[in-house]
Structure 1
Amino acid sequence: MQLEIHRAPNIFEQLKDEWNALHAQAVNRAPFLRAEYQAGWWAHRGGGEWPEAELCLITARVGGKLVGVAPLFAAQNRAGRRALLLIGSIEISDYLDLVVGRAHLDEFCAALLERLSQPDAPAWEALDFYNIPATSPTRAALGRAAAARHWAATESTLEPCPAITLPNDWETYLANQVDKKERQEIKRKLRRAQGGEQATRWYIVGPEHDLMAEVEAFINMMALTPDKARFLTPVMREQFRATARAAAEGGYLHLAFLEVDGERAAGYFSFDWGGRLYVYNSAIDARFNALSVGWVLLGYLLQWCIANGRTVFDFMRGSEDYKFRFGGVAGEIKRLQLSRTLTPAELGGEPLVTENMGEAEFFPG
């Protein structure tokens, strides 16, 4: 297995076809790990989250074929240490990982640690990998690779990631996966939206629309909420636009709006990938709160997913109450830390597993 470090940002475009073909067979197939998403994230450093960052993308080949990508960058982490982090860290990419198939995972993890020990690798005190799904095979593979080198390796649980496994029809979902009280609330709010005095309609942005105008409308609606207005700095707005373009290029952008009397009242920005709808962000115009427009649009999106054969409705990170009221069941994401020089106590967390009893063949499994 031959490993190479890449430091020039044109590597994303050079590798795009090979990278995305590998991603389709990888242990983590979330859209955040596709080449176009990663390139957009790197161009704006996560919306300014990492203004001082050095690219350190590592590829692995066997017989000339790309079999692994470690999309890394070097920066000072939140603990003030020089670290290598995954591109996409931390705040705006819900599921991260190495890009590697199961057959090469252990070999790649071992070779990666060896390559990062060489003198031409960037200086680092810790590998600091955020947002690894708890079911990812990478957790235990990195644990085994670290144990073989006698490195400190720890993990900690970050946030819940509620998701709904969808049945084949709407009524079955309501009857079996939502509590009676919430079931009645969802039905009541949908009836009110459909039969009230104000005209409502919802739509998914398609080729007949001006994509970037619709994205801009969504960003502006997000900014109506004070905490999201603070989040949407100029560079974060550019990041959001880049994410939308990347998702559109990859064919997985799913942008939906609910209108009330011809005005946009709510929106959901999601990724439609691999039979799963990843709900990335939401926007609400508070003028329409009396109609519960956020709940109504969620109801329509769930109906659309069921009717169109999607198997999972993934709310992703966050413990907001509504996610569970709609029937979300929480998964977890982890932070993994490895170090040659620091102790487990200095890293913090629990010992990193070397065998993962909850491991799936791939995520999302």
Structure 2
Amino acid sequence: MSGREQDVVGVPPVAELPGPSAEDWDALAAEAGNIFLTHAWAQCWWRHYGQNARPHVVPVPGSGAFMALSSTGRMLRQARLLGAGPADQLGILGSASQVPSALRELRTFLGGRPRHDLFVANDVPVSEAWAEQLGGTVLRFEPSPVVTLSYDTWDEFLAARSRNFREQARRKERRLHRDFRVVLRLADEETFDRDMATLFTLHQQRWGTDAGFASGRERRFQIEFAAVALAAGRLRLWVLELDGEPVASLHGFRFAGAEYFHQGGRNPAFDAHSVGFLLLAHAIRAALEDGMGEYRLLRGGEPYKARFADAQADVCTVAVPLTARGRLAVTAAARRRA
């Protein structure tokens, strides 16, 4: 049994989600410009996170746009955007211009039956003003840096950065090739199982053995979605090897003209060689040379992201109380985060 099969064994099958076909669903995800809204992400999420929940589709009249939700709870009946947790950004399936009408439909749905106490919109674009339009409370704000790739060459990209950045990028790359036999490669069908295991190992070396991404349910979810993304030509799993040893890994995706940096890991023993910085620079360069419009560094305001980024697509988590019980829950959550 392969590593991939071992990680998904025992997970119960799940029925197909409601809504349009996978092809139509993905066309709307492309319109939204969001890999985390694709049918495959939703289906994999439901398989691993949908226990004891109900799926709902809230259509926007007069358009094909819709929202996919899940609802759970007995003591506190909650509705959330389907895919929450592992996703770095969620929202409506459709264009940004359809957000106001979509949120009006959402409010109508939440006020109907079954009655919900609380709606939580995880990691929705700040620019879409969900809190203002729904009368909700922002529980969390997260930077989401973006690298625009409006350059013809990598040299032009470097020329737009600081002198210090340019010199470090070039000097560190030359030194790495001088001191090691360097291999930079993308995972394929033949290497997938091994490369995913390497990603998790390097992630744990960097963040600790209890890192959620590399263990338990999220690990199983990530393996399944990555396999689907690989088959669809959307997976960008980079591995950096020095003298035959994997020392850094970058787990990302490519969708609708953009590339995504979802997770990564590295061996801290090689930090003096800036292997994380150089692998990210290589992935951005490859995206630029392949004609991608932007490279999304996703949630988190880490300083290394600021060195590359020149734009922001920040996200926030919004809670909307719908009953007295929901208002108490939102007040308590806001106090905990204060």
Q: TM-score range by the shorter chain?
A: 0.7 to 0.9
The partner residue of 1:311 within 283, 288, 293 is 293
Tell whether 2:94 aligns with 1:100.
yes
**8 Å contact 2:116–2:322 — kept in the other structure?**
no
Bigger share in strand: 1
**8 Å contact 1:190–1:299 — kept in the other structure?**
no
Question: Partners of 2:116 and 2:46 in 1: how far apart?
Answer: 19
Question: Partners of 2:144 and 2:317 in 1: how far apart?
Answer: 14
CA deviation after TM superposition for structure 1 residue 118, in Å: 2.5
Please give the root-mean-square deviation of Cα atoms over the aligned residues, in Å: 3.0
Distance change >3 Å, CA 22–CA 301, structure 1 → 2? closer
Question: Partners of 1:102 and 1:290 in 2: how far apart?
Answer: 43
What stretches of structure 2 of length at least 5 have no aligned partner?
A: 1-13
The partner residue of 2:65 within 63, 68, 87 is 68
**Structure 1: which amino acid aligns with 2:197?**
E
Question: Partners of 2:312 and 2:97 in 1: how far apart?
Answer: 28
Question: Partners of 2:103 and 2:29 in 1: how far apart?
Answer: 16
TM-score, normalising length: structure 1: 0.77
Question: Partners of 2:245 and 2:18 in 1: how far apart?
Answer: 39
The partner residue of 2:174 within 188, 191, 209 is 191
Distance change >3 Å, CA 53–CA 283, structure 1 → 2? same
2:283 aligned counterpart, secondary structure? helix
TM-score, normalising length: structure 2: 0.82
Question: Partners of 2:145 and 2:95 in 1: how far apart?
Answer: 26
1:24 aligned counterpart, secondary structure? helix
Question: Partners of 1:133 and 1:105 in 2: how far apart?
Answer: 11
Aligned to 2:198: 217
Tell whether 2:253 aligns with 1:251.
no
Question: Partners of 2:100 and 2:119 in 1: how far apart?
Answer: 17
Distance change >3 Å, CA 168–CA 345, structure 1 → 2? farther
Aligned to 2:80: 85
CA deviation after TM superposition for structure 1 residue 157, in Å: 5.0
CA deviation after TM superposition for structure 1 residue 13, in Å: 9.1
Aligned residues with identical type, % of pairs: 20
Question: Partners of 1:61 and 1:69 in 2: how far apart?
Answer: 5
Question: Partners of 2:64 and 2:104 in 1: how far apart?
Answer: 14
Tell whether 2:283 aligns with 1:301.
yes
Question: Partners of 1:13 and 1:108 in 2: how far apart?
Answer: 15
Aligned to 1:109: 103
2:143 aligned counterpart, secondary structure? strand
Question: Partners of 1:118 and 1:327 in 2: how far apart?
Answer: 43
| Residues paired across the two proteins, number | 317
Aligned to 1:124: 116
Question: Partners of 2:112 and 2:138 in 1: how far apart?
Answer: 25
Distance change >3 Å, CA 326–CA 153, structure 1 → 2? closer
What stretches of structure 1 of length at least 5 have no aligned partner?
A: 1-7, 46-50, 147-151, 351-365
Distance change >3 Å, CA 327–CA 115, structure 1 → 2? closer
Question: Partners of 1:255 and 1:32 in 2: how far apart?
Answer: 16
